[in-house]
A and B are shown apart, each in its own frame.
Chain A
């Protein structure tokens, strides 16, 4: 039965409902959206006994304040925004019970960039085009197509269960220096060998102008052969476009589906979660890998989740 889950006391900077994304509609211009850090989203769901792709809250700094309207097991994974229950710090990467009337709030940013809050029984918002993810620019999905606002009441199927925790090996450590693996292309004809070499050997800093759509990077200017424009084509998650100013932009979860700037490389899937947890000011070094290597890592990653789900009988 649908029951009130929580009331938003303070919305935070940007707190949205996200799941594994809206697939199948990119040909109509619908951004897949979804959790920026799908690793943390899935683990949070695992801990509260939800299907791995169930909707969770994604919260950036400053985080929200939420008042529980029913007893419910929750788990918080991802960036450490110092979660607290009634002002008392609560542990991350494990589930705990939030009692009716208790307030979940967040303090200072300790590490990472985004926290994922799962609720046992999930969040009850209507799926739009097959997904509960909020697509902010498209004003659709999630809670009324927007980030949460003070006074919003969200519903779910709140359940209380035995607390669970994760093996420490599964808990990532977020660093200010990142090695991000990429696959070259697709528009390599727009860059000289030297430019590609320069991109792969330089340090890039994530600028403050970074959001769910994309991360702007500051670093050595990359030049094009014959201008930055291409005949517009589809942009995958992690595509790195280089506009005319020569400063690359990594396209993230809420990217546009197509674009007209040359792309030098694409970030491999398994490196997206760490990138999603990188704060502005973090330093990135890119490393070129083969497709085979990237796909082997992806398969391993999927297998991990399969094993974890089996372990919990999901």
Chain B
């Protein structure tokens, strides 16, 4: 099958790899990124994976649209199998409820469940990071169970704590910094998702997974105190 490539102006193209938000489509995007990394096409600057597409930014004085399309087809069709690392699951500790999660009680009441039941449903499952955007280090996650989905706030908060974990409709995510938000905040992670001056500034990346792990306030403060020296637990996903 040929790639579906459309121009995004004169310096970027978008490749569509499906029309459904699912793990299969994301897998295709991951595979293509892997090939792009290896191919090192001259003139390509960067790429941005999204739910069902991959945008590629390039310099038109180094490679034309037509030539880039040809290169992309070539690497797409190449049967060379590159080693691809298994996706990584990041275990993100979260202190749920109380002052950290002012909306947890609402979410529980909305679904006629206890707060503990909501935490159990939200934590301990693997959420795929489909894409990152909206703000530095913000992951768009898939896989929220319907049983915890809730409508957004009617009046968005002016600011949430950095690390706030929220639910908005059928989406869940973590706010890396203090921003206005209409999502229901159910907890906070002490882990920093984005440290601009670190050698590896971003903890998360598209194509990997997050698993929320409930912690209590004491553990929260301990991890917070450790700061950068706290190592987020990870494991390879089979």
Contacts and interface: CB of A to CB of B under 8 A. Distances in A.
A20 to B, nearest CB: 12
Interface stretch (B49-57, B88-96, B109-117, B230-238): B49-57
Nearest to B6: A186
A28 B9 contact: no
Contacts of B6: 185-186
A57 to B, nearest CB: 21
A208 interface: no
B205 A28 contact: yes
B7 A24 contact: no
A140 B196 contact: yes
A96 to B, nearest CB: 32
B134 to A, nearest CB: 6
Interface residues of B, number: 42
The A contact surface, by secondary structure, is mixed
Contact of B134 (A29, A239, A292, A303): A29
Nearest to A291: B65
Interface string A277-294: 000000000000001101
Given A232-B50, A234-B55, A298-B61, A30 B9 contact: no
B141 interface: no
B8 A266 contact: yes
A185 B52 CA distance: 17
Interface residues on A, range: 35 or more
B163 to A, nearest CB: 15
A234 B53 contact: yes
Interface string A245-257: 0000000000011
A231 B49 contact: no
Interface-centre pick from B11, B50, B60, B133 (highest chain A CB count, 10 A) = B133
Interface in A205-246: 231-234, 236-239
B9 A238 contact: yes
B21 to A, nearest CB: 6
Interface of B: 6-12, 14, 19, 21, 45-53, 55, 57, 60-61, 64-65, 131-138, 140, 177, 194, 196-197, 201-202, 205-206
Given A26-B48, A28-B137, A256-B134, 14 more contacts: A27-B132, A128-B196, A138-B135, A139-B177, A185-B6, A231-B19, A231-B51, A233-B55, A234-B8, A236-B57, A268-B9, A269-B11, A295-B65, A298-B10
